[in-house]
Chains A and B, each alone.
Chain A
């Protein structure tokens, strides 16, 4: 069984990082039971594959070398970065932490995804001014730093006037990445990083865990290496990308990966085509990605005087204030919306990151929690004045059509892709040259092998949302192993006591809980007033923690 995540056949994007797992096509054969390797071969034996708990002997028999480390963070993306950053500030030295990752730097996957979904370094991401993954204090905020460094004092007014007289301030992607680069050097990230693909994590008899890593072929004498750790932190990111079923079927049937694309893969060819001739682009989805792609199409139209036609199909068409998951509007739960979109400043209502909603969710269990998630859910996008103006112009001039509907079937006719849409006004045939799927539906957590293994062998459960079940401290329920503990943070934990997990600040909220729990267990210090201030001074002077 290959270690590399299965790729969609014919995918045209070789630059996509291996961390983005795409759903296996339905036509593929069922999962093949992995065969154990021979003892002493440095690979996983039958004994190891089958046993829920491992002993040191089992690994010795398999010939897999074992390294000892106090804490391992699996993932190596922004989730690991933020958590390790907290731990370094809390006094953990670099020799007690290892980060196992196939990324070269923490923002690699994030930068790829933002770039292809039309947020280059010069554009602004959808994130708050005080949500700084490179600065756990959030001070100075991005707005303050931008104002100071670029002498752009308007941004101070911006954060003063938001959100009433200005859109919420958001930082430029480039500023975020540069900040993370500076901080990763400061905390000695490269000293802790071990490159490779993590295969599985299992409990160790006697306490702690074994983590199996597959380094790049040829980098080590054995195929696998193992780490024995007391604490494990899991931050592997989104379980996977998925296409809408009808788009997936079309791509597979026609072997066409050019005209029907996901916004999360490289699709610059569509914008290039728009510059050469008048085309019709269909967009599916009503979130931030759809907004960014739309902005790109509209901006190019303006800049290059194009005749691009845009058809925007919304499964859920919001045309006024609404209460998500409710039949009628509730006055204390009213979210704005218009022209198909629901508007919300950030991925979640702001108070999930420390205010009322965070406190409420922390108290809820099971069905109640699920209901609360639904009541704040539904795809949404920020209100940005420049977008609103451009979209209004498009609707007025007729080149931007908005429709409610879902698509049952797609076919090729006269060189165009025709979607048979089912709208509230009856069936409709919509023709387009290109279709961009901006829905980015996420696959189930079992699409990720490490997570599936944990569910099968290590007592990990699912929360009401279907993702990993974690405590308020982000400890993975059911995984205690002697004094050892496993934590998980990020997108894989969505549905728990804290709603905003897959965000910068959300990762920091989780990191803080994890750090405090580890401090209680003696791994590091608790970050109190004095340590916080002195560490901030070190941050400000770019000195090691």
Chain B
């Protein structure tokens, strides 16, 4: 990927909301959320998605900074996948310490297994999307550093 700072942030906010939203909508009913009612489950998973987006904006600044040390000023495909580790850990920690406002019943209602499946599913689908079919729907996105507007 060849992102600019503005493009990274736009992709993070807009694309992750859309693609992540679709994935979240589909998998939430199947997550092991200890029999929570669907409305609670959806509220939880969408709040996690929102957290990934908001916290992600900070991460994008950090990735942009790291990228400056690369001669090619590129963000290799692998990095896009590998960063699920640091981001996942941070979101899990925020969950664990009840720092994501609005999660129904607090973080004890979100088993780690549910979180991991949810997070991985969204991340992997998003990563596959931006490294593949996205180009079919928006021909300008990849030439403008990931900007959508």
A512 touches which one: B72, B81, B139, B145 (CB < 8 A)? B139
Instruction: Tell me which residues across on chain B come within 8 A of A351, comparing CB atoms.
Output: 2, 72-74
Instruction: Tell me which residues across on chain A come within 8 A of B81, comparing CB atoms.
Output: 160
The reply to whether A358 and B135 contact each other, CB–CB distance below 8 Å, is no
- Encoded as 1 (CB less than 8 Å from any B CB) or 0, chain A from 352 to 368 comes to 01111111000000000
CB neighbors of A among B106-149 (8 A): 132-133, 135-140, 142-145
Instruction: Tell me which residues across on chain A come within 8 A of B73, comparing CB atoms.
Output: 349-351, 355-357
Closest approach, in angstroms, between the C-beta of B70 and any C-beta of chain A?
Answer: 9
A334 to B68, CA, bound (A): 10
Tell yes or no: B83 within 8 A of A by CB. Answer: no
A532 touches which one: B1, B136, B144 (CB < 8 A)? B136
The reply to whether A358 and B143 contact each other, CB–CB distance below 8 Å, is yes
Closest approach, in angstroms, between the C-beta of A248 and any C-beta of chain B?
Answer: 34
The reply to whether A512 and B143 contact each other, CB–CB distance below 8 Å, is yes
Instruction: Tell me which residues across on chain A come within 8 A of B144, comparing CB atoms.
Output: 354, 359
CB neighbors of B among A118-147 (8 A): 130, 136-140, 144
The reply to whether A529 and B135 contact each other, CB–CB distance below 8 Å, is no
A366 to B76, CA, bound (A): 32
A358 to B71, CA, bound (A): 14
A331 to B71, CA, bound (A): 9
Q: What is the interface size of chain A, counting residues whose CB is below 8 A from a CB of the partner?
A: 38
The reply to whether A137 and B2 contact each other, CB–CB distance below 8 Å, is no
Q: For A498, give the chain B residue with the smallest CB separation.
A: B143
Instruction: Tell me which residues across on chain A come within 8 A of B77, comparing CB atoms.
Output: 159-160, 162
Instruction: Tell me which residues across on chain B come within 8 A of A208, comparing CB atoms.
Output: none
A355 to B11, CA, bound (A): 13
Tell yes or no: A163 within 8 A of B by CB. Answer: yes
Closest approach, in angstroms, between the C-beta of B146 and any C-beta of chain A?
Answer: 8
Closest approach, in angstroms, between the C-beta of A472 and any C-beta of chain B?
Answer: 12
Q: For A356, give the chain B residue with the smallest CB separation.
A: B73
A120 to B146, CA, bound (A): 35
Closest approach, in angstroms, between the C-beta of A17 and any C-beta of chain B?
Answer: 30
**Known contacts A138-B142, A164-B76; A355/B4 CB under 8 A:** yes
Instruction: Tell me which residues across on chain B come within 8 A of A331, comparing CB atoms.
Output: 69
Instruction: Tell me which residues across on chain A come within 8 A of B132, comparing CB atoms.
Output: 139-140, 144
Tell yes or no: B3 within 8 A of A by CB. Answer: yes
A122 to B5, CA, bound (A): 39
Closest approach, in angstroms, between the C-beta of A183 and any C-beta of chain B?
Answer: 16
The reply to whether A532 and B137 contact each other, CB–CB distance below 8 Å, is yes
**Known contacts A356-B73, A512-B143; A536/B2 CB under 8 A:** no
Tell yes or no: A273 within 8 A of B by CB. Answer: no
The reply to whether B71 and A509 contact each other, CB–CB distance below 8 Å, is no
Closest approach, in angstroms, between the C-beta of B137 and any C-beta of chain A?
Answer: 5
The reply to whether A137 and B71 contact each other, CB–CB distance below 8 Å, is no
Instruction: Tell me which residues across on chain B come within 8 A of A527, comparing CB atoms.
Output: 139
A355 touches which one: B3, B69, B137, B140 (CB < 8 A)? B3
Q: Which 3 A/B pairs are nearest by Cβ-Cβ distance? A: A355-B2, A351-B73, A350-B72
A-B contact pairs, 24 of them (CB 8 A): A137-B136, A137-B139, A138-B142, A160-B77, A162-B78, A163-B76, A333-B71, A334-B71, A335-B71, A349-B71, A350-B2, A350-B72, A350-B73, A353-B143, A354-B2, A354-B142, A355-B2, A355-B7, A356-B2, A356-B3, A356-B4, A359-B144, A509-B143, A533-B136
